[in-house]
Amino acid sequence: MIHNKVKSYFEDNYLKNPILIKAPGRINLIGEHTDYNQGLVLPASIEKGIYFAVSGNEENNIQIESFLTQPEKIVFQLNGEHKVFESFWGNYFKAIIEILIAKNYPLKGMNCVFGGDIPIGSGLSSSAALCCGFIYAITQVSDKEISREDIALIAQEAEHKIGLNCGLMDQYAVLFGKKGNAFFLDCNDLSHKYIPINLDGYSWVLINSNIKHNLAVDSEYNKRRVSCENIVKQVQAYRPQVKSLRDISKDDLVKVKNKVNEIDIQRAKYIIEENERVLQMMQELTAGDAIAVGNVLKNGHWAMSTEYEITTSELDHLVKIGEELDGVLGSRMMGGGFGGCTINLIETKSLDENIKALLRSYKNKTGIDAEYYHLAIDDGVKVFE
């Protein structure tokens, strides 16, 4: 088990018994790209995660080490200085330490070893797990609590410093997740509630397309954000109280259609309808209607494909394959786009044969070997016993 490897590596190299912290990855049932539009989302934290083994040190520095992907050790002095590093993950930790120093947070010397089993670039929000888990680890060593709400804001600010202008969905899902439940979040006022996710006789499965994405490098994410902001500016000209797409209706889109690009209208329409799909998904999950849940998944995928244009041909193939199989109720790409996983609702009694058929057909169509993960919904960031 990965947490045992992280703990053992720490004990062997730092000769101390560490605090072990787990930060989960997250899935999103529905509500893609709505978070930065102050919209509605329905994520959940999952069993896969990143584990941090930490303890205090007397070195007046923060030593961070990964021994799995891109093994490297980085040392940050408590005054914020550091030597040049190679690993992409170092940029996240650098940003977090700089933010905490700017906020006069009382940092203490710390040794940290981390590793996890979230596939990087798969749409399971490894970066939010990395940031939220690391900030939480710092609080455990420094003995000064930061509220989970504030941890989310610091983690978001770190992502912004690196170049991804993200909303707060990922951070909130990673911090506030609850075993067995999806996490409904209204990104306008950050109110939230839990919705049981399990449907009797059906299983949730992730299929990793093995098309990797890097949202910070790929400016397509930020282009879509600009489209949404363009619409808001035009509507504000006659309704100044409007703050985001959350406040805008399809009637507003008709009124401004001659003042903006057609693509901006198309993208804004997607966001308005995606918020409606979140409410519908909550209703169907509460009613236990698996067929209706599957239909919401499918509708969400093809809207992302044709309207928001954030899927890939490979991901579209995966969803089409599922639509032709008995027992696969629905699938959709999950995450920011341009790669990653599909989330699939599959009849449990035909689960194994349907997974095999999905992987085989995908390989035949694309030449790529996909991977699958049975989905277990777990708690948010916590000290791991």
Catalytic residues: 170
Instruction: Take residue 321 and report the two structure tokens written for it.
Output: 């394959």
Taking the C-alpha atoms of residue 28 and residue 334, their distance in angstroms, rounded to an integer, is 6
- Strands 40-56 vs 328-333: parallel, antiparallel or unpaired: unpaired
CA–CA separation, 181 and 89 (whole Å): 29
Angle at 86 between CA 83 and CA 87, to 5 degrees: 115
Phi-psi region for residue 180, left (φ > 0), alpha (ψ -120 to 50) or beta?
left
CA–CA separation, 62 and 37 (whole Å) = 36
Q: Which of 205, 226, 223 shows the shortest CA–CA distance to 215?
A: 223
- Secondary structure string (H, E, C) spanning 76-141: EECCCCECCCCCHHHHHHHHHHHHHHHCCCCCCCEEEEEEECCCCCCCCCHHHHHHHHHHHHHHHH
Could you tell me which of 374, 365, 292 has the C-alpha nearest to residue 341?
374
Rg over CA atoms, the chain:
21
Contact in structure between 363 and 357 (CB atoms under 8 Å): no
Residues 6+ apart with CB under 8 A from 159: 92, 95, 127, 128, 131, 166, 216
